[in-house]
Amino acid sequence: MSTFLEILSPSYLLFPALLGTAVLGLVCPLIGSYLILRRTVFLGLTLPQIAAAGVSFTFWLQQTGFLPQWQQGERGIGMIGSLLFTFLGMGLLGYLEQRRKGIAEGRLATAYALAGALTILFIVFNPAGQIEVLNLLKGEVIGLSKGDLRLLAAVFGLVLVGLVLFRREFLLSSFDRDLAFLLKGRQIIWDVLLYLLAGVSIAFGVILAGPLLLFGFLVLPALAARPLVNSMSSFLWLSSLLGLVMAVFGFYSSVRLDLPLGPTDVALGCCLIFLAYALSRISPRRALGLIVLSSVALWTYGCGTTKATAPLPEAKALNNETLWLAKVKNSTGLSLLLPGTNPLRSLAEMAGKISSDYRQSVMDLLRDDLRRELEQRGFRVTLPEQTDARFSAFPVEPASAGRLAREGKLSGLIFVSEILRWEADSRQFVRVSADFKLIRTSDGSVVWERRIQRPVPTPSATNLGQAYTDSVKEVVRDLFAQ
Amino acid sequence: MGQDVDAIQNARGRASKDDSLPLVSVQNVSLGYDSEPILQNVDLTIYPGDLIGLAGPNGSGKTTLFRAILGLLPILNGALSRNCPLSNFGYVPQSAALDAQFPLSTAEVVEMGAYGRVRPYEFFPAAEKRQIGEVLEQVGLRHLAAKPFFSLSGGQKQRILIARALMVKPKIMILDEPLSGVDEDSRKSISELLIQLTRLDGLAIFFSSHDIPMVRRVADRLLRVDKGKIWWEKKEMELDP
């Protein structure tokens, strides 16, 4: 299990994703602060949805042949759609605002509903790429490559520079438009520049992080900072700092608890808002005490509760007892079958002529690799079904596994495994959560146990089958690592 | 109004109009929204050192006239000229018109008055920071520099907005209802401040109020506005014998 310090190490596998989240956490709240103060916070929700509609639209165009397949990959084409729709949406909303057509909230709500509907419709029109588009719209920041990170840093770095350079102009045109006109002339240039920076951030952020996470970073840190500050400068830096806290601790919680990053970050951001309002109601001394206590608790949560994992005992230390390797239990609710390699058999399977049993599953691969590894370590490995064909997967609960083994007259040790999650989020990672236990059959005591719960990188995989195969090898390597 | 105001009024010197150009000249101007005139035949000239009051009930067009002078509202017809750039106009809006959602300190509000002189990529100059202290001192609220602006009383907020307008280094100040929603002590201190600014600093001040007796007492010249009509009640400064 990863500790807090581990995820901060540049050698950590998901370090690029953590950096990407941190960049979003630092910069997005600055834009969100202005959206909140200008009372256009709903724009921060509507624009990401419009950007998402742009992504699904360009994929649909590509699928119908109106757009060529692009060498730069899915994200490149998605970004074009995202940028195009964001700026078209902003232009249209700006035009309607100028013409004073309807009420502002009504326009934004309509645009949000329409963009949401279009996003789904374009996905439905594009069944070939449905999963890819949905994955892109989910914006799993965890799949950020180094190239993506460089792009993210460049775009958000420019946005940050713009926000810092023109902070006085943005503040003046947001707070007192009349004074802004007297001192700086027509303030439309500052409005355009601010919304341009917001639009660029949203268009890129949606494709790299997804609408939910982006909206969370835009508004939640700023809303949490608001009750704690008495000046604009402290409001901006505290928003940014809370965004960073939300990014880092949200990321850590997501990795540690095996939760999706977007909802975890948003939930943490909402907790920060409640905490901020609670702090604002007590004296500064008590607030400081509470912050110190919270920091200690977070630090303890991050560093103090990680159990050291014991290596698998050597075969000699276990008196060379027979080791029964049970079938791997699949508790995911998914078949976890590898795609077939024979097109004729696949066609026959689709036509219902043959069952899918001929295909290997992740459970089969995992058991094969476990067996090989255990035998290399000197264990006498035997399969339970060789003595009784009725043996299926064993439960991982030690007492039940021991009892079942005794009933089947299996003496010695039994190795049980259970897959809780084996999910390819993108082609670069497979999210794995699996339990492994070595149980003494005589009394059901646990000799050794280990849980693997982490995103497993599969950088060279070009299809799902390869991603599953690579992830199994990585998990077994991790399982027996000293 | 208290005796202090009267004392300053009495000590006021004559502002010479003959040897200086008017800062603002409004001739036969009509004002309104969407081509619908609210005020017609407005004639007004503002010279350096003038203290002009604009009195009339709420909704009579006082703010409309101010917005036209500040270039925020186009005139429907007539002629309006300014002999100084708009950045020399210090504008004091009604504090209620500002959004209390903004977490601004008092010093940050005053600082905004200098934004016209500071370029985007520049650090805020030390001289301007000193100036913030000086204008806060001038309005008697230096001790409130770090306080949240929207936590101040109505009178304090008005004085801070006057300090912000002074930070602009204006030639003319336009104040929209500076005495509304403030307690009696604040009314007195703000009135004294306005008189002081014209008397000692030579600023032209044009302010509005719906409290006609108060405007009569403070202003040198009084412009009345009501029901779409505008007229001078006191056109020339009345000097004590």
Task: Collect all residues of chain B within an 8 Å Cβ-Cβ radius of residue A233.
Answer: 108
pLDDT band at residue A366 under the 50/70/90 scheme: very high
Give contacts of A175 with chain B, Cβ < 8 Å.
Answer: 98-99, 102, 104, 112
CA dihedral A288, A292, A293, A298 (to 10 degrees): 140
pLDDT band at B237; cut points 50, 70, 90: low
Q: What percent of chain B clears pLDDT 70, i.e. is strictly above it?
A: 89
Report the SS3 class of residue A427: coil
| A147 vs B223, more confident | B223
Of B67, B112, B148, the CB nearest to A179: B112
- pLDDT > 90 in chain B, percent: 39
Window from A140-144, A420-424, B90-94, B235-239 with minimum mean pLDDT = B235-239
What tokens appear for A99 in the block? 């013409």
Q: Does A226 touch chain B (CB under 8 A)?
A: yes
What ipTM was assigned to the predicted interfaces of this complex? 0.86
Check A178 against B91: CB less than 8 A apart: yes
Contacts 24+ apart (CB under 8 A), B192-197: B192/B4, B192/B5, B192/B8, B193/B138, B193/B139, B193/B159, B193/B162, B194/B51, B194/B218, B195/B5, B195/B8, B195/B9, B195/B12, B195/B51, B196/B8, B197/B166, B197/B173
Give pLDDT tens digits for A437-451: 999 988 888 888 888
Count, residues in chain B? 241
Average pLDDT of chain B is 85
- What integer pLDDT is reported at residue A255 of this predicted model? 80
Answer yes or no: are the C-beta atoms of A355 and A412 closer than 8 Å. no
Give me the pLDDT at residue B230, please.
87
Q: Which CATH number fits domain A316-479: 3.40.50, 3.40.30, 2.30.29, 1.10.3470?
A: 3.40.50
* pTM of the complete model: 0.75
Average pLDDT, whole number, for chain A?
Answer: 83
Q: Could you tell me the pLDDT band of residue A15, with boundaries at 50, 70 and 90?
A: confident
DSSP state of B104: -
Percent of chain A with pLDDT over 70: 86
Is residue B240 pLDDT above 50, yes or no?
A: no
CB A108 within 8 A of CB A42: yes
In chain A, what are the domain boundaries?
A: 4-282, 316-479
Task: Summarize the confidence of residues B213-220 as an average pLDDT.
Answer: 86
pLDDT on residue A85: 92
**Domain range A4-282, its CATH number among 3.40.50.170, 3.40.50.10490, 1.10.3470.10, 2.60.40.1180:** 1.10.3470.10
Confidence of residue B9 (pLDDT cuts 50, 70, 90): very low
Q: How confident is the model at residue A416 (pLDDT cuts 50, 70, 90)?
A: very high
CA A109/CA A106 separation, integer angstroms: 5
E strand map for A240-342: 322-325, 329-330
- Could you tell me which of A435, A411, A321 has the C-alpha nearest to residue A374? A321
What integer pLDDT is reported at residue A347 of this predicted model? 65
Contacts of B86 in chain A (CB under 8 A): 181-182
- Inspect the interface and report whether the beta carbons of A176 and B89 lie closer than 8 Å: no
Buried b (16+ CB within 10 A) or exposed e, B140-161: ebbebbebbbbebebbbbbbbb
User: The tokens of A407 are what?
Assistant: 């009933």
pLDDT confidence of residue A140: 64
CB–CB of A261/A140 below 8 Å?
A: yes
B101 in A contact zone (CB under 8 Å): yes
Task: Please state whether A61 falls in left (phi above 0), alpha (psi between -120 and 50) or beta.
Answer: alpha
What confidence tens digit (pLDDT) does each residue in A100-133 have? 767 878 888 999 999 989 988 888 877 665 666 6
The minimum CA-CA distance between A97 and chain B, rounded to whole Å, is 17
Q: How far is A88 from chain B (nearest CA, A)?
A: 28
pLDDT of residue B115: 92
Q: Once rounded to an integer, what is the mean pLDDT over residues A391-401?
A: 86
Q: What is the pLDDT of residue A217?
A: 94
> Running DSSP on this structure, what letter comes out for residue B239?
P
